[in-house]
Chains A and B, each alone.
Chain A
């Protein structure tokens, strides 16, 4: 009798132990709540890719681009290559403990093969250093692994694409490294009349291509939502006119040539309408042109200057600059009802508005004292924060993912472009061009 009792007890205890090992005994756990973290760049490692092939190692064209992209976003900081002692190229080679101790959250690793000159096969993997205890390996640490075949000429493009993949995977936000920027370049060669160019370059300012060249001013470039066309203002006929130009073919279309001002074209999010500023009825007001029907609709009727229209992401309203209140401020127009309400109440000058894709932020040119800066206003609580520091800044243009702002600033009297992250962490300057760069416009995502 007694023996069977003991046996029963032991069995029960063993079962209990097993059960508790298998289940998650949350009742016994202490509960904690954490509601604060830090906002800081994520430490990652970019391990030099292994090259196996003939000719020059192409990683010299890949790695620096990837690193610059990710670093300039302000979201990542790279550990110094000199601090690395291990150089894995595949997931299997990664010793998670080592990288954790080094203080790295993720690793970008890869290999490049070249079977024929000028063509490369690139394997790239993103590894999560904290996917689980390396001893138990609850989940695979691999976040993605892809292979690309690329020609020499497209190496840079591939690098941007890899940057996009890494960025998206680690932040959850779509990357902008494959987007482009358009801007006006004014050159004044010595002793010659000025030349105006509409240029399109990579988002990092590289590979500028002149889309248009004119000896009369070009202004206000605006990308269509599909990224295939740019609307702009041209004075080639000695008067303001609005043209559309195909980014690939260069073909142009005249869309507005009304008496007086034809300016500040802005595409609706569905690409069917173009908002613009016309003064044909006496004062600069906001109009809307249907690109299919060519029907023109007047949206604002005021005796003040209403200009710089920009559509909200849902296409239902247009924000614009108006001095109807005495000083240039930003207003919002409901397209359907034509109701207008004022948005900005801070600062003595607010202009060139644009609403972020998530509809939460209003980016604008802003002046509180004497200095213009680029600022961001939270549309929920109205709080304004300055994004640019030191120096003059104007013509802000938001990146399609809302994380960066491109603007025009000057350096030693030369007009250049600057870029700031909307969280204020990064401030960059794009490489100067020969001439003055103005009025940047950030392309949408490549569709």
Chain B
């Protein structure tokens, strides 16, 4: 969200402006960036902050782990076996599904005000009701995956050839 705000601000410098009246010292004509006293607007104006740096460091940490492990095989990097079975070596289908999937994931995360890390781990740890409600939604959505009609565990995947071991 901070990254998008930064890009938007580059295109339109009025996206985030300094505002002494705002609690955070910054405001935006966009309602989302301006909520909570301009909290998100402040992050966009000052991207070197704990939240943004944390995400970048998270990626770096995972990269280091992958590097130390010798990386991922070339075949797996392009398309996993289960996707090959379903999409017959058509990577564009896999990439389209991946794009739409994260659209759904991120839009859902914005609606919820957080993802599994923020709600399940952080909020449940603090016994916040929002964490339990989020988990209930996640469990509800997971029910089809336990149904024999979806043996692969994927809503999109209706494998033509998948067997139980």
Asked if A pairs with B, the answer is no
